[in-house]
Amino acid sequence: MKILRSIFPVYYWLILMVGVVFLFANQPNAYILLNLAATLFFIKIVVVIHEIGHLLFGKLVGGNPKRIVLGKSHQLKRFSILNVKIVLNKDFNGGFAFVTFPKGKKTKFNQFVLTSGGFLTNFLIAYLCFIIGGFNPLFLSGKYGLDFNSTFIITNILIGVFSLIPYYVDY
Protein backbone atom coordinates (compact mmCIF):
# COMPACT_ATOMS: atom_id res chain seq x y z
CA MET A 1 0.00 0.00 0.00
CA LYS A 2 2.93 2.35 0.73
CA ILE A 3 4.20 1.89 -2.81
CA LEU A 4 0.80 2.65 -4.32
CA ARG A 5 0.43 5.79 -2.16
CA SER A 6 3.94 6.85 -3.13
CA ILE A 7 3.26 6.58 -6.84
CA PHE A 8 -0.33 7.82 -6.74
CA PRO A 9 -0.94 10.04 -3.69
CA VAL A 10 -4.33 10.26 -2.01
CA TYR A 11 -5.27 13.53 -3.72
CA TYR A 12 -4.95 11.83 -7.16
CA TRP A 13 -7.57 9.30 -6.09
CA LEU A 14 -9.72 12.05 -4.59
CA ILE A 15 -9.78 13.98 -7.88
CA LEU A 16 -10.62 10.76 -9.72
CA MET A 17 -13.44 9.87 -7.32
CA VAL A 18 -14.96 13.36 -7.42
CA GLY A 19 -14.77 13.26 -11.22
CA VAL A 20 -16.58 9.90 -11.33
CA VAL A 21 -19.26 11.13 -8.89
CA PHE A 22 -19.73 14.27 -11.03
CA LEU A 23 -19.94 12.09 -14.15
CA PHE A 24 -22.74 10.00 -12.69
CA ALA A 25 -24.49 13.15 -11.46
CA ASN A 26 -24.25 14.68 -14.98
CA GLN A 27 -22.22 17.63 -13.72
CA PRO A 28 -20.56 19.69 -16.47
CA ASN A 29 -17.14 19.69 -14.76
CA ALA A 30 -16.84 15.89 -14.60
CA TYR A 31 -14.61 15.51 -17.65
CA ILE A 32 -12.37 18.38 -16.55
CA LEU A 33 -11.64 16.49 -13.32
CA LEU A 34 -11.27 13.15 -15.11
CA ASN A 35 -8.83 14.60 -17.66
CA LEU A 36 -6.90 16.22 -14.81
CA ALA A 37 -6.77 12.89 -12.95
CA ALA A 38 -5.55 11.17 -16.14
CA THR A 39 -2.83 13.83 -16.51
CA LEU A 40 -1.66 13.29 -12.93
CA PHE A 41 -1.55 9.51 -13.42
CA PHE A 42 0.29 9.84 -16.73
CA ILE A 43 2.94 12.11 -15.20
CA LYS A 44 4.30 9.15 -13.21
CA ILE A 45 4.27 6.85 -16.24
CA VAL A 46 5.94 9.47 -18.42
CA VAL A 47 8.71 10.05 -15.85
CA VAL A 48 9.51 6.32 -16.06
CA ILE A 49 9.47 6.51 -19.88
CA HIS A 50 11.78 9.54 -19.70
CA GLU A 51 14.31 7.68 -17.53
CA ILE A 52 14.14 4.60 -19.76
CA GLY A 53 14.92 6.95 -22.67
CA HIS A 54 18.15 7.97 -20.94
CA LEU A 55 19.11 4.31 -20.52
CA LEU A 56 18.28 3.42 -24.13
CA PHE A 57 20.21 6.34 -25.59
CA GLY A 58 23.11 5.60 -23.25
CA LYS A 59 23.13 2.00 -24.50
CA LEU A 60 22.97 3.29 -28.08
CA VAL A 61 26.34 5.05 -27.65
CA GLY A 62 28.07 2.17 -25.89
CA GLY A 63 27.12 2.73 -22.26
CA ASN A 64 26.07 0.17 -19.68
CA PRO A 65 22.66 0.98 -18.13
CA LYS A 66 22.95 0.40 -14.39
CA ARG A 67 20.16 1.99 -12.39
CA ILE A 68 16.98 4.05 -12.37
CA VAL A 69 16.11 5.88 -9.17
CA LEU A 70 12.48 7.05 -9.02
CA GLY A 71 11.77 9.71 -6.43
CA LYS A 72 13.59 10.96 -3.35
CA SER A 73 13.44 10.29 0.39
CA HIS A 74 13.68 6.78 1.82
CA GLN A 75 13.64 3.64 -0.27
CA LEU A 76 10.40 1.65 -0.56
CA LYS A 77 11.33 -1.03 -3.05
CA ARG A 78 14.38 -2.23 -4.98
CA PHE A 79 14.31 -4.74 -7.82
CA SER A 80 16.00 -5.48 -11.16
CA ILE A 81 14.69 -5.68 -14.70
CA LEU A 82 17.09 -6.81 -17.46
CA ASN A 83 20.07 -6.27 -15.13
CA VAL A 84 19.03 -2.67 -14.45
CA LYS A 85 18.42 -1.90 -10.79
CA ILE A 86 15.20 0.01 -10.15
CA VAL A 87 14.90 1.93 -6.88
CA LEU A 88 11.50 3.29 -5.90
CA ASN A 89 11.64 5.95 -3.21
CA LYS A 90 8.83 7.48 -1.17
CA ASP A 91 8.55 10.89 -2.88
CA PHE A 92 8.13 9.85 -6.51
CA ASN A 93 8.26 13.28 -8.19
CA GLY A 94 11.12 12.69 -10.62
CA GLY A 95 13.86 10.30 -11.45
CA PHE A 96 17.48 9.69 -12.25
CA ALA A 97 19.05 7.25 -14.72
CA PHE A 98 22.60 6.04 -14.20
CA VAL A 99 24.71 4.74 -17.10
CA THR A 100 28.40 3.87 -16.95
CA PHE A 101 30.78 3.98 -19.91
CA PRO A 102 33.79 1.76 -20.50
CA LYS A 103 37.19 3.42 -20.33
CA GLY A 104 37.66 5.67 -23.34
CA LYS A 105 33.95 5.71 -24.25
CA LYS A 106 32.86 8.59 -22.01
CA THR A 107 33.13 11.34 -24.59
CA LYS A 108 31.29 14.65 -24.60
CA PHE A 109 29.23 13.42 -27.55
CA ASN A 110 28.20 10.22 -25.74
CA GLN A 111 27.32 12.23 -22.64
CA PHE A 112 25.27 14.61 -24.80
CA VAL A 113 23.36 11.70 -26.37
CA LEU A 114 22.76 10.15 -22.93
CA THR A 115 21.50 13.46 -21.54
CA SER A 116 19.28 14.10 -24.56
CA GLY A 117 17.74 10.63 -24.46
CA GLY A 118 15.05 11.52 -21.94
CA PHE A 119 13.44 14.46 -23.69
CA LEU A 120 13.95 12.94 -27.14
CA THR A 121 12.06 9.83 -26.01
CA ASN A 122 9.25 11.99 -24.60
CA PHE A 123 8.97 14.01 -27.82
CA LEU A 124 9.15 10.89 -30.01
CA ILE A 125 6.38 9.17 -28.06
CA ALA A 126 4.26 12.33 -28.13
CA TYR A 127 4.73 12.54 -31.91
CA LEU A 128 3.83 8.87 -32.43
CA CYS A 129 0.70 9.26 -30.31
CA PHE A 130 -0.20 12.37 -32.32
CA ILE A 131 0.19 10.47 -35.60
CA ILE A 132 -1.83 7.51 -34.33
CA GLY A 133 -4.63 9.28 -32.46
CA GLY A 134 -4.46 13.02 -33.12
CA PHE A 135 -4.50 15.79 -30.55
CA ASN A 136 -7.30 17.97 -29.24
CA PRO A 137 -5.91 21.17 -27.65
CA LEU A 138 -9.16 21.62 -25.71
CA PHE A 139 -8.97 18.20 -24.04
CA LEU A 140 -8.56 19.63 -20.54
CA SER A 141 -11.74 21.71 -20.91
CA GLY A 142 -13.75 18.50 -20.76
CA LYS A 143 -15.90 19.73 -23.63
CA TYR A 144 -15.13 16.63 -25.71
CA GLY A 145 -15.13 14.02 -22.96
CA LEU A 146 -12.23 11.98 -21.67
CA ASP A 147 -9.25 12.12 -24.05
CA PHE A 148 -6.42 9.81 -22.95
CA ASN A 149 -4.40 10.30 -26.13
CA SER A 150 -4.25 14.10 -25.86
CA THR A 151 -3.56 13.79 -22.14
CA PHE A 152 -0.65 11.41 -22.78
CA ILE A 153 0.73 13.65 -25.54
CA ILE A 154 0.66 16.84 -23.46
CA THR A 155 2.15 15.03 -20.45
CA ASN A 156 5.07 13.78 -22.57
CA ILE A 157 5.61 17.25 -24.02
CA LEU A 158 5.52 18.91 -20.59
CA ILE A 159 7.96 16.44 -19.02
CA GLY A 160 10.22 16.77 -22.08
CA VAL A 161 10.18 20.58 -22.02
CA PHE A 162 10.63 20.87 -18.24
CA SER A 163 13.57 18.47 -18.40
CA LEU A 164 15.32 20.97 -20.68
CA ILE A 165 15.35 23.59 -17.92
CA PRO A 166 18.70 23.37 -16.13
CA TYR A 167 18.55 22.69 -12.40
CA TYR A 168 20.64 21.02 -9.73
CA VAL A 169 19.90 17.36 -9.10
CA ASP A 170 20.41 16.17 -5.52
CA TYR A 171 20.45 12.33 -5.55
| Per-residue pLDDT reduced to its tens digit, 14-39 | 999 999 999 999 888 899 999 999 99
| Any domain includes 121 | yes
Q: What is the pLDDT of residue 169?
A: 65
169 located within any domain: no
Q: Is residue 103 part of a domain?
A: yes
In a domain, 167, yes or no: no
Position 2 pLDDT exceeds 80: no
For residue 145, the enclosing domain spans 2-162
Residue 25 belongs to a domain: yes
Range among 3-7, 12-16, 126-130 rated most confident: 126-130
Round to whole Å and give the CA distance between 50 and 158: 11
Q: pLDDT band for 71, please (50, 70, 90 cuts).
A: confident
Domain count, the chain: 1
| 171 inside domain | no
10 in a domain, yes or no? yes
pLDDT band at 170 (very low <50, low <70, confident <90, very high): low
Q: The dihedral of CA 58, 60, 65, 71: what is its sign?
A: positive
The answer to whether position 170 is within a domain reads: no
Q: Using 50, 70 and 90 to split pLDDT, how confident is the model at 93?
A: confident
Q: What is the pTM of this model?
A: 0.88
